Amino acid sequence: AMLAACSGEKNPAGGERIVLGFSQVGAESEWRTANTESIKSAVQEAGIQLRFSDAQQKQENQIKALRSFIAQRVDVIAFSPVVESGWETVLREAKAANIPVILTDRAVKVSDDSLYVTLIGSDFVEEGRKAARWLLEQSPLKDGTEPVRIVELQGTVGSAPANDRMKGFKEVIAANPRFQVVRSQSGDFTRAKGKEVMEAFLKAEGSSIDVLFAHNDDMAIGAIQAIEEAGLKPGQDIVIVSIDAVRGAFEAMMAGKLNVTVECNPLLGPQLVDAIHAVREGRPLPKRIVVEESVFTREQAAEVFPTRRY
Ligand code: AHR
């Protein structure tokens, strides 16, 4: 209450308005845009005052934003960390200033987990496993004796989703030695880089690529363009598995160009608001709040598409 009083904001009901400082990763993907909208609309509906900062996928910008929230003495800080490591110092500064920190979407690696209240987000390791399970158990390549050559488009280097999706995928494909990742490189979760790296993969591997595993739909969509420009049929000559289940992925599946997408739910706004209220009221929260998710194939795409909210 004291911190809120410093900001002098009143809500329409007459009480002190909670001030939230939120540092977002950037606007790198369809997923991220949906995540930002969900957070903005949920906090607005709750009458929380938002100070929003876009880090343009750079950790240094995020650290600056967090320091500025601390200097402004906001009531709560929430952020989706670009990468996993390097947060210890700034999180200690927030703790020293008595400002609770909530992580959304991505995890941090810190030696002291009292430096944040909770992490609200997906189980990225499980998403990687789901992608691999589909390949091994349901894809057109599941039976046979030939080796299956996989190229992987990784997300942002050092980010929790890239580290964890890679880990979960590897863990499951290890069960079948036919399936091998022959190339793996980061496309930074964007369409432009996904396309660029896929072009390099195609140049190096020619037509010997059987599968593309992309850590998000945007990179898969960029890669689809590169595959078509190389005169190959995406979804057919190269089986494509990606993650997020954004509308663009459904469109690609309905066009037959993407085989499957594993859902990663960006609509975290309402859960963030609940967590903020819990923190303010001193109610305990679990250290980890996981979001429920499924897998969608192109056979289901047309039916499911109208119900998608992002
Ligand atoms: O952290 C979640 C990931 O970040 C999404 O899968 C990706 O699209 C986004 O950029």
Tokens, residue 143: 């039976």
CA-proximal residue: ligand 1, atom 4 (nearest): 32
pLDDT at 10: 55
Ligand 1: nearest atom to the Cα of 30? 8
Tell me how far the alpha carbon of residue 11 lies from the centroid of ligand 1, in angstroms.
Answer: 33
Rounded average pLDDT over 287-309? 94
The DSSP output letter for 140 is T
Q: What is the pLDDT of residues 214-231, one digit of tens each?
A: 999 999 999 999 999 999
Q: Between the CA atoms of 226, 231, 236 and 241, what dihedral angle is there, to the nearest 10 degrees?
A: -10
Interface pTM, i.e. ipTM: 0.99
Compute how many other C-beta atoms are within 10 angstroms of the C-beta atom of residue 114: 9
pLDDT of 28 over the 60 cut: yes
Ligand 1: nearest atom to the Cα of 106? 1
pLDDT of 170 over the 90 cut: yes
- Look over the chain and give the mean of its residue pLDDT values, rounded to a whole number: 95
Angle at 43 between CA 66 and CA 306, to 5 degrees: 115
Rounded average pLDDT over 8-22? 74
Tell me how far the alpha carbon of residue 192 lies from the centroid of ligand 1, in angstroms.
Answer: 15
Q: What is the pLDDT of residues 83-104, one digit of tens each?
A: 999 999 999 999 999 999 999 9
- For residue 262, the cross-strand partners are 243, 295
Task: Specify the 3-state DSSP secondary structure of 162.
Answer: helix
Task: Specify the 3-state DSSP secondary structure of 151.
Answer: strand
What's the pTM? 0.94
Percent of the chain with pLDDT over 90: 94
Local confidence band at 8 (pLDDT 50, 70, 90 cut-offs): very low
Local confidence band at 2 (pLDDT 50, 70, 90 cut-offs): very low
